[in-house]
Amino acid sequence: MAVIPATQDKACLRVLNEVYEAAARPRDRDVRHYLGMSEIGGECDRALWYSFRSFPTVPLEGRVIMLFRFGDLIESELVHFLNKAGYAVTDQQLSFNAIGGHFGGHCDGIIHGITQEPHILECKSANRRSFDAFRQGGVRATQPKYYCQCQCYMGYSGLDRALMAIQCKEDSAIYFERIYFNRSEFQTLNDRATLIIYANEPFARPFKMESRECEWCKHRTYCWYPEENTVSSQVCGTCRYFAFKGLKKVCRHPEHVVEIMQWGVGCPQWVEFDSKERRVDPVELEQITL
**pLDDT at res. 7:** 59
For residues 232 and 75, give the distance between their C-alpha atoms in angstroms, rounded to a whole number: 31
Q: Is the pLDDT of residue 87 over 90?
A: yes
192, 242: one domain: no
Q: Which of helix, strand or coil describes residue 43?
A: coil
Residue 111, strand partner residues: 89, 119
Predicted local confidence at residue 110, as pLDDT: 97
CB 212 within 8 Å of CB 206: no
The reply to whether 275 and 147 lie within a common domain is no
Query: What does the pLDDT look like over 55-81, one tens digit per residue?
Result: 988 877 777 777 777 777 888 899 999
Asked if the structure places residue 49 within a domain, the reply is yes
Q: Are residues 69 and 170 in the same domain?
A: yes
Residue 144 shares a structural domain with residue 256: no
Domain boundary among 168, 197, 226: 197
pTM score, two decimals? 0.87
Say what the pLDDT of residue 8 is: 62
Query: In the listed set 197, 213, 248, which residue is the last one of a domain according to the structure?
Result: 197
Residue 124 counted as domain residue = yes
Higher pLDDT among residues 258 and 8, named by residue: 258
Taking residue 203's Cβ as centre, other Cβ atoms within 10 Å add up to 15
How many structural domains compose the chain? 2
Q: What's the pLDDT score for residue 184?
A: 98
93-103 exposure pattern, b = at least 16 Cβ within 10 A, e = fewer: ebeeebbeebb
Percent of the chain with pLDDT over 70: 89
CB-based burial, 1-37: b 16+ in 10 Å, e otherwise? eeeeeeeeeeeeeeeeeeeeeebeeeeeeeeebbbbb
Q: What is the pLDDT of residue 276?
A: 63
Q: What local confidence, expressed as pLDDT, does residue 38 receive? A: 95
Specify if 9 maps to a domain.
no
pLDDT value for 1: 43
Answer whether residue 89 is part of any domain: yes
Sequence-ordered alpha helix ranges (H) in the chain: 10-24, 45-53, 62-84, 128-142, 144-157, 183-197, 212-215, 220-224, 282-287
* Chain segment 102-159, per-residue pLDDT in tens: 999 999 999 999 999 999 999 999 999 999 999 999 999 999 999 999 999 999 999 9
Domain that holds residue 269: 234-290
- Measured CA to CA, the distance from residue 157 to residue 107 in angstroms comes to 10
Residue 278 is predicted with a pLDDT of 56
Q: How confident is the model at residue 27 (pLDDT cuts 50, 70, 90)?
A: low
| Cα–Cα distance, 283 to 263 (Å, whole number) | 24
pLDDT surpasses 70 at 31: no
**Whether residue 172 is found in the same domain as residue 250:** no
Q: Which of 172, 197, 222 is the last residue of a domain?
A: 197
